[in-house]
């Protein structure tokens, strides 16, 4: 039986991923992290007082990332680098 790779995230891993995509997340302590099943959300307010929301999950066997209303490219290499998965 082959192993499944499933989405998994922590507040720290999400903040690191979002920052690597060029977004301003000023403080990990002021960000709000939520999890519902295998879907993860991170909400924060940047230095300009603009609220943002990021969504990470999997769809169709691929990782997906949306920040605000923009879908961003997310590779498996990035998922592995930031520890955004678990094997079952």
pLDDT along the chain (88 residues), means of 10: 88 97 94 97 96 96 96 96 95
Among 51, 63, 62, 48, smallest CA distance to 13 is for 63
Q: What is the CATH number of domain 5-87?
A: 2.20.25
Alpha helices in 1-88 (DSSP H): 11-20, 76-81
Whole-structure pTM value: 0.93
**Residue 34: φ, ψ to 5°:** -135, 150
């Amino acid at each position: 039986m082959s192993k499944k790779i499933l989405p998994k995230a922590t507040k720290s891993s999400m903040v690191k991923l979002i920052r690597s995509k060029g977004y301003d997340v000023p403080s990990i302590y002021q960000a709000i992290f939520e999890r519902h099943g295998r879907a993860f959300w991170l909400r924060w307010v940047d230095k300009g007082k603009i609220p943002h929301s990021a969504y990470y999950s999997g769809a169709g066997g691929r990782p997906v990332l949306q920040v605000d209303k923009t879908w961003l490219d997310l590779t498996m290499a990035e998922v592995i680098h930031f520890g955004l998965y678990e094997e079952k």
